[in-house]
């Protein structure tokens, strides 16, 4: 059901249209939040990996075990 610009909308049609538009906006916002969360998790995983890699380069595990 396409609504033409020239058509006058009654109250029910207007309310349904507003609900649909609101639902689409809310759905779009939820998708953006999920994408942001996934990007943050990926960034944290990369940072964690880089930190572990740098630490393993600088720490000699044999020396740590001998001191204990």
Task: Dump pLDDT digits (tens) for 9-67.
Answer: 688 888 888 888 888 888 889 999 999 999 999 999 999 999 999 888 878 665 666 65
Q: For residue 4, which phi and psi values (nearest 5 degrees)?
A: -80, 150
Exposure string over 32-50, b if 16+ CB within 10 A, otherwise e: eeeeeeeeeeeeeeeeeee
* Overall pTM > 0.75: no
Q: In the Cβ-directed half-sphere of 23, how many Cα atoms lie within 13 Å? A: 6
Torsion sign across C-alpha atoms 56, 61, 63, 68? positive
């Amino acid at each position: 059901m396409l609504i033409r610009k020239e058509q006058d909308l009654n109250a029910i049609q207007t309310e349904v249209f507003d609900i649909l538009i609101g639902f689409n906006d809310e759905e779009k916002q939820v998708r953006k939040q999920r994408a942001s969360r996934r990007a943050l998790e990926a960034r944290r995983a990369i940072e964690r990996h880089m930190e572990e890699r740098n630490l393993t380069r600088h720490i000699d595990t044999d020396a740590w075990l001998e001191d204990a």
